[in-house]
Structure 1
Amino acid sequence: MSIIDSKGRLFGKLSLLDLAAAAVIMLVVIGIFFFPGTPITNNLVAQTKQQSIEVTALVRGLGVADLDGLFEEFKAEKQAEIVIRNQPAGKVDILKSQRLPRTTVAPQPDGTVKALPDPRPEIVMIQDLLLTLGGKAEITDTGVVLDGSKKIKIGSLIQLQGKYYDFNASVIEIKIS
């Protein structure tokens, strides 16, 4: 009795094609359960050179009752979680925070206009901020990449999260150190 007969069966019982198909299915199942969603290139990210960057972000219309308390929170925590396109992108340092004045246009008798502080009482709790954030990023041909896969560009909307705050900002400047 030969190992493979004339019909391609192993010991006259199992087809070689059936065994090959079962092996492929088994490898796919092992690949799904042991390596879910991890591309091979993820290991290469750790070997790329990261550079320091400074990102300036503009926060418009933030409703906050105690702005000084928020600034104290920035000084105490010094770091914030950053979310780009609803995907966590690690932590960034809060280097500087600055309040921007809220102004309104006031026409003058001679026909010119002046920007004056907004006198409306309801505007007291609506603030505009300028935040300078620092961190490490990979510089590629297509832009600045945080956390291996999150691109950040001027105009990108980011979300900053801390212990007591969670708000959106828009990137207005990126400096590469």
Structure 2
Amino acid sequence: MKLLDSKGRLFGKVSVLDLGAALVIFLVIVGIFVVPGKSGVSSIAQMSKQPIEVDVIVRGLGIRDPQSLFEQFQTNKKTNIVIRNQPAGEVEIKKVSPFERNTLVPQPDGSVKALPDPRPEAAYYTDMILTLGGEAEITDTGAVLGSQKVKIGTLIELEGKNYNFNSSTIDVRILK
């Protein structure tokens, strides 16, 4: 009896193509269930968390009553953050530093002075620096807050009960 007949069947009963397809399906099942590897384990999850402080700057936030927002930051010291469109958890608002909007005014002697912006619409825009505190995983490449790396220049969206605005990271400090 021949091993392969003229139609490509083993011992005249099983097709070589069917046997190959069954072998591929078997290897896929073994690869998925028996040898899963590290697909379900995050290497970041193994790291210890350390406290960090992140300074963010907010420029030109349009708001009717900036003082009420500052008071809300003082009473509710927590805010949710979103980094790269991914929720990154809740952080503490440690410090709020508003600063005045200025405009450059040329002087008669040719010099330039920064003076408070006299335009009426400037009253509805505010600039501030917020210091946020939280727990982050420290890697060789930087701090990871809520599975997202935080570095200078990273855009962070702050979200609270009645506010949602973007800010830019200007400093990241790892506390010991």
TM-score between both structures, scaled by the size of structure 1: 0.80
**1:82 alignment counterpart:** 81
**1:39 alignment counterpart:** 39
**1:151 alignment counterpart:** 149
Aligned residues: 165
Aligned with 1:46: secondary structure?
helix
Aligned with 2:136: secondary structure?
strand
For structure 2, list consecutive stretches of 5 or more residues without a partner in the other structure. Answer: none
- Structure 1 residue 76, shift from structure 2 partner: 2.7
**2:64 alignment counterpart:** 65
Question: Max radius of gyration: which structure?
Answer: 2
* 2-structure distance, mates of 1:91, 1:82: 6
- Structure 1 residue 92, shift from structure 2 partner: 1.3
Structure 2: which amino acid aligns with 1:161?
E
Q: Within the alignment, does 1:21 sit opposite 2:20 as a pair?
A: no
- Structure 1 residue 166, shift from structure 2 partner: 0.4
* 1-structure distance, mates of 2:54, 2:24: 53
* 1-structure distance, mates of 2:27, 2:145: 37
- Structure 1 residue 41, shift from structure 2 partner: 3.1
Structure 1: which amino acid aligns with 2:70?
F
* 2-structure distance, mates of 1:45, 1:106: 51
- Structure 1 residue 87, shift from structure 2 partner: 1.5
* 2-structure distance, mates of 1:75, 1:56: 17
Instruction: Note closer, same or farther for the CA distance 1:110–1:18 as it changes in structure 2 (3 Å cut).
Output: closer
- Structure 1 residue 94, shift from structure 2 partner: 0.8
Superposition pairs of residues 1-177 of structure 1, within 5 angstroms: 16-26=19-29, 39-42=39-42, 44-148=43-147, 150-177=148-175
Deviations 1:15-38 (A, max 9, x none): 65343233345568x77xxx9xx9
Structure 1: which amino acid aligns with 2:39?
P
- Structure 1 residue 59, shift from structure 2 partner: 0.2
Structure 2: which amino acid aligns with 1:153?
K
- Structure 1 residue 108, shift from structure 2 partner: 1.8
For structure 1, list consecutive stretches of 5 or more residues without a partner in the other structure. Answer: 1-5
Deviations 1:97-144 (A, max 9, x none): 121111111222222221111111011001101100001112222111
Instruction: Note closer, same or farther for the CA distance 1:27–1:57 as it changes in structure 2 (3 Å cut).
Output: same
